[in-house]
Amino acid sequence: MTDALLDTHCHLDAYPDPTRVLEAAAAAGVHLVAVTNTPDGYRRLATLLPRSGPAHPALGLHPLHAGQLGMGGVLRFSRQAAGATWIGEIGLDFSAVGRATRDTQLTVFDALLALPQLRVRPVTVHSRGAERVAVERLTDAGTRAVLHWYTGPLGVADDALAAGMSFSVNPAMVVSAKGRTLLARLPHDRVVLETDGPYTGRTGRPCEPADLATLVEDLARLWQTSPAQVRASICENQRRLTDPRSAAGAAAPPD
């Protein structure tokens, strides 16, 4: 996967035809992290996905499911964590849709972060409306976090960078004013790609992993460099993120 682009946050199981999405990704030479919202969803997806295909299942417990699953969900998560190569989607959501379960989300998130696997696996993290709290807890836990579709304060983004975290960028971010402001601030060596498909769209259809080459071109225009340079930087960032040998220092502040 060294030279293949990686969609680090894709809801493969939410597409009407996941098989077609996988075939298109394989044809485009793209790999993807198939995030899940519950431990049971991960178990089903990990069973169905071909081991030699372009998709890598991620073990998740989405914050908007925390209120329903509670610590029973954490227990099911913990039983599967040893076999997962990626973790996600986990995190906090204190927006209007998640505010009512804030306390349960915090309890669940803290319990997940206490698991040893979350210090040695890449973790894709949801932080909507809870960016400061999420970054503080991730920093304290020493988690190899990738902040997915970050929309929070720039100062908190700086704190995340200081703690060694990365940011995953999707097509919606490169066309929004807030996303472009963040991208102008982020060091290029902390950026990886995502689609968050099918929940982002382009030209009237849901984004999918096969679209990552277009996202590379968008970033090249924004960063005023060549697509080849952006691709090389992204591939190196992916390698560093997924290399187990980098786990020990992944969350350490830079010198």
Residue 193 near residue 168, CB atoms below 8 Å: yes
> What pLDDT does residue 244 have?
61
> What pLDDT does residue 51 have?
78
What are the φ/ψ torsions at residue 103 (nearest 5 degrees)? -65, -40
**Residue ranges of the chain with per-residue pLDDT less than 50:** 248-255
> What pLDDT does residue 248 have?
43
pLDDT tens digit sequence for 47-74: 999 877 899 999 999 999 999 999 999 9
Q: Which structure tokens are listed for 165? A: 């975290």
Residue 66 near residue 109, CB atoms below 8 Å: yes
Residue 157 near residue 132, CB atoms below 8 Å: no
Characterize the bridge pairing of strands 122-126 and 86-91: parallel
Residue bearing tokens 């700086």: 158
pTM: 0.93
**Residue partners of 223: CB distance under 8 A and separation at least 6:** 183, 188, 230
> What pLDDT does residue 2 have?
59
